[in-house]
Every structure is written in structure tokens, then in C-alpha cells.
Amino acid sequence: MKIFVLVKEVPDTYGDRKLNLETGLADRGAGDVVLDEITERALEVALAYAGKADDVEVVALAMAPDSSTASIRRALAIGAASAVHIVDEQLAGADLGLTAEVLAAAIRRAEPDLVIAGNLSTDGSGGMIPAMLAEHLGYAQATALNSVEITADGVSGTRAADDGSQSVSVSYPAVISITEALPDARFPNFKGIMAAKKKPLEILSLDDLGVSADPAAAPRTIMTTVSEKPPRAAGVKITDEGDAGAQLVEFLVQNRLV
């Protein structure tokens, strides 16, 4: 069985994050970048199954700038057998539609049995890529899973619903996405870090995949405006001089909070 895991490099949530107001894109030079934690969890799901089943190959797939090699090597150090890195300057600022098309083209070349992704990245938080991938590939899909069981015949799991939980199952080939309810990824040890340097890392371009990023060829999302979040105004302070209760009630009434 071959399993593809989508991995992504994102700005570190513990560092400074800024938006470029000219392009509308995240300023990736404003702080440190890391492998997204949710994609590490997706990788752990694949590796946990590979550890107890025979003949399972786990491949990490990323669409990222050429500066992202270290993050992709981390996926290899955690345990992926190989990686595919899609690099092309035309992909800078790619929207969800183009991203899904490019990733699907790379996946289609290898025809894996299963594709595992996180449900939401910590930068864009689009949450649409897994379903869009399944549509492009013609694969079954099970998204936002809080628990996962992989077998030789298919995948089953549960996901939250408005009135409880849903049990879902799909046969191969399939695309699934997982939530943060799944376990943390294993920490790469020294042996894994050294082995990652020798593991296969394939570099692909848009030409290799036969995909055009020209909006005229396939119109996609158009950004019209982008603006910085306005600063928060100072809150109202109430000094208790015996009438604090009355002031509080008046404030709540004026702001229609009661």
C-alpha cells in the first residue's frame, strides 16, 4: 500500500506573523517557519499504520518554495520513506483551487491508495483542500476525522456533528483529513535525522505536472482588497464610587447586551 501525506510549512504560531498589504499574502520572512503541527499528526496516522502492517510506503508531499527543504526533511526524519516537493515561482500566492489542482496532478502520477491531510492549516485555515483533492482525483473522501482506523480494505473513523458524532467509512482509493484530536507526531531522533539526509526527495515543477498557473487559462480566485486589522479601542473603565452597579447596567443596556 502507498500512502501520501500532505505536509506544509507555515509561519510559527509562537512567533511574529504579518500580512503583506501589497500582495495580501503572509509575510513568510517576518518570523520563523515550521512544519505545520496538523500535518505532523497526519504523518503520524500513516506511520502508525505502517508500523503494524506489511509493505506500506509513506510519502510526504509538499507544495512549497525551494527554501522549505528543511521542513520537508523533517517529515522524512519523522519517518516518511520519501518525499515529493513541488517548487515553482508561479505558485507564489496560489489559491485553494490552483493548490488542489497541482497537488492532485502530483498524486495522480503515483496513484496512491490513500491520501491523508490535516483538516485545517494554521496559516490559511481554508479547510477545503482534502475535499477538492478527492473531487479532482475521483477518490472517496472522509474529512475532519477525530479518530481513524486504517485496514487493508479501507478507512473508518468518527467526526463531530451538530447533534453528536458520525461514523464514516470509505474504500480505497480515498482521501481523508484528520483533526487535532489525533495524537501528536513522534519526535525525530538522531538516527531519523541522519537517515533523512539520504532519503529520496523528488523535485517537481508545473511543467513536470502539466499544470498551468495562468489565470487566463483557468480563472480562479481574484483578491480585490486587503487591509490591516484595526487596533482595538480602549475598553470602558468603571470606578466604583457606590454606583458601579448602575453604571454597569447602563453600559450593558447601551450596548444591547441585555
Would residue 258 count as lying in a domain?
no
Q: How many domains does the chain have?
A: 1
Q: Residues 121, 127, 128, 133: is their CA dihedral positive or negative?
A: positive
Would 233 be classed as within a structural domain? no
Q: Taking the model in full, what pTM does it have?
A: 0.82
Compute the distance between CA of residue 93 and CA of residue 220 in angstroms, rounded to an integer.
Answer: 12
Residue at 248 is within a domain: no
Q: Is there a domain that residue 253 lies in?
A: no
CATH of the domain at 74: 3.40.50.620
At 24 the pLDDT is 65
Which domain, by its residues, includes 157?
2-209
Q: What is the pLDDT along the chain (258 residues), one digit of tens a residue?
A: 999 999 999 888 776 767 777 666 666 666 688 889 999 999 999 999 999 999 999 999 999 998 899 999 999 999 999 999 999 988 887 888 899 999 999 999 999 999 999 998 877 777 899 999 999 999 999 999 999 999 999 999 999 988 889 999 999 999 999 999 998 989 989 999 999 999 999 999 999 999 988 765 665 666 677 777 788 888 878 888 888 888 889 888 988 887
Look at residue 221 and tell me if it is in a domain: no
